[in-house]
Amino acid sequence: MARTATPRLDAVSANAIELARQSLLEVTEPGQVGEHLRVEASAERLVTHVFDCTMPGYRGWSWVVVLARAPRAKAPTVSETALLPGSDALLAPEWEPWSERLKPSDVGADDLLPFREYDPRLEQGYEQTDDAEADRVAQWELGLGRARVLSQEGREEAAERWVSGEFGPRETSGRRRKGTVDAHCASCGFLSLLSGSLRQEFGICTNEWSPADGRVVSLRYGCGSHSETGQDDAPREDPSEHIVIDEYRIDAEPVAEASEPDQPAVAEPDQPAVAESDEPAAEPEPLVEADAPDSQTAPEEPVSES
C-alpha cells in the first residue's frame, strides 16, 4: 500500500496570521477570539490556522481559519472559518428517543404513558387460552399438596391490609379529561388475577413501568401506565386519505360524426312515382283544415268556366 506524502507547509500562508485573525473578528463578537495556537498544512498551498475560543461555555473549542494560495500568487485568500470542538470540549450528550431515555423509576402513579397499539407483552383477550400449569396447581391444592391452606379469616385480614395500603382503591377522573388517570386495573391488560375468592378484588401488576409492578393491587386502583391509557389521543390513520372522490370528473370520448348514406326516393302507397326532371319541384300548397261552415260567412259564388 502506497504511503501518502505529508503536504509541505506553505510559508506565505503560514505567516498570514493577522489575515486569519482579522477574518475571525469580522464574524465574531469582541472578546471571543483568543491567542493563536498553531498552524497546520492541510494540502498543497492550503493551511489551517487554529485560535483559542474564549466564549463562555465553550471550553476546549477552537476557531479555525483555512487559507489557500493560488500558484505564483503573492498573498493567500480566506477559504472558510469555523468553530470546532477539541478532544476535551464540552459537548451535549447524544440524543436518545424518550422511549430509551425514560426509565420505569421515572414514572409515577399520575404520569401518563402514551398508548402502544402493538405491545409484544400483551395479546388480545380472545387469544388467551387456559393454562395447563394453573389447572395442575388447582388440583394439587385440593388438600393433598399442603398440610394447611389459607382460611376465610386469613383471606379477610389480607384483603383489609391491601385495601388500606398504597395500592388500594383510588378515585379516577370520570370525565376522561386529557392528562388524568381515567381507568382502573380491572380493565388493564397487565393485571394477573389471584386465585380463589381474592381474584374478585385483587390482582398482581406485571407492568414494569407502573409503580405497582410486582405488587398486589386492588381492581379499583389505577395509574398512568394502564395498557389502554391514551388510546383516544393516539394518532390514527385517516381512512379518507385513501378514498378518491371522482364524482366531479368527466370522461369525454370523442366520436366521429357519421355521414348519412343517400337513400333512393320511395313512392308512397296509392301514389304514382314521380319522374325525375330538371325543373324545380313546385312548392306544395298549404293544407287547409276542413272545418264546419261558418254560419256568419257567406258562401262563395261558383265560378263559371269559359
pLDDT tens track for 272-291: 555 555 555 556 555 555 55
- In whole angstroms, what is the distance from residue 280 CA to residue 112 CA? 100
What average pLDDT does range 158-179 have in this prediction? 78
* Helices H / strands E in the chain, number of each: 5, 7
- Quick one: 207 exposed, middle or buried, by C-beta within 10 A (0-12, 13-18, 19+)? buried
What average pLDDT does range 104-127 have in this prediction? 73
What is the per-residue pLDDT for 285? 59
CATH number attached to the domain at 11-85: 3.10.450
Q: Is the pLDDT reported for residue 120 higher than 80?
A: no
Q: Is the pTM of the predicted complex or chain greater than 0.85?
A: no
Q: Is the pLDDT reported for residue 300 higher than 60?
A: no
DSSP string, 110-169: TPPPPP-SS-TT---GGG----HHHHHHHHHTTTTS-S----HHHHHHHHHHHHTSTTS-
What is the per-residue pLDDT for 95? 86
Name beta bridge partners: 83.
63
Nearest alpha carbon to residue 212 among 231, 196, 192:
192
% of the chain exceeding 90 in pLDDT: 29
Name beta bridge partners: 61.
85
Cell of 267: 313512392
Q: Is the pLDDT reported for residue 231 higher than 80?
A: no
- In whole angstroms, what is the distance from residue 64 CA to residue 48 CA? 6
Name beta bridge partners: 205.
191
What average pLDDT does range 75-99 have in this prediction? 88
Do 220 and 200 touch, CB atoms closer than 8 A?
no
Residue 263: left (phi > 0), alpha (psi -120 to 50), or beta? beta
Highest mean pLDDT among 259-263, 289-293, 300-304: 259-263
Cell of 281: 319541384
Q: Is the pLDDT reported for residue 305 higher than 90?
A: no
What is the per-residue pLDDT for 306? 44
Predicted confidence band of residue 46 (pLDDT cuts 50, 70, 90): very high
Name the residue with higher pLDDT: 287 or 249. Answer: 249
Q: What is the side-by-side order of every strand in the sheet holding 61-68?
A: 33-43, 46-53, 61-68, 77-85
What is the per-residue pLDDT for 170? 85
What is the per-residue pLDDT for 175? 56
Predicted confidence band of residue 244 (pLDDT cuts 50, 70, 90): low
What is the per-residue pLDDT for 54? 93
- In whole angstroms, what is the distance from residue 181 CA to residue 111 CA? 8
Cell of 2: 502506497
Predicted confidence band of residue 99 (pLDDT cuts 50, 70, 90): confident
- Element containing residue 34 per DSSP (H, E): strand 33-43
pLDDT-wise least confident of 38-42, 135-139, 165-169, 214-218: 135-139
Q: In which residue ranges of the chain is CATH 3.10.450 found?
A: 11-85
Q: What are phi and psi of 121, to 5 degrees?
A: -80, -10
Nearest alpha carbon to residue 223 among 197, 252, 258, 188:
188
pLDDT-wise least confident of 86-100, 219-233, 250-264: 250-264
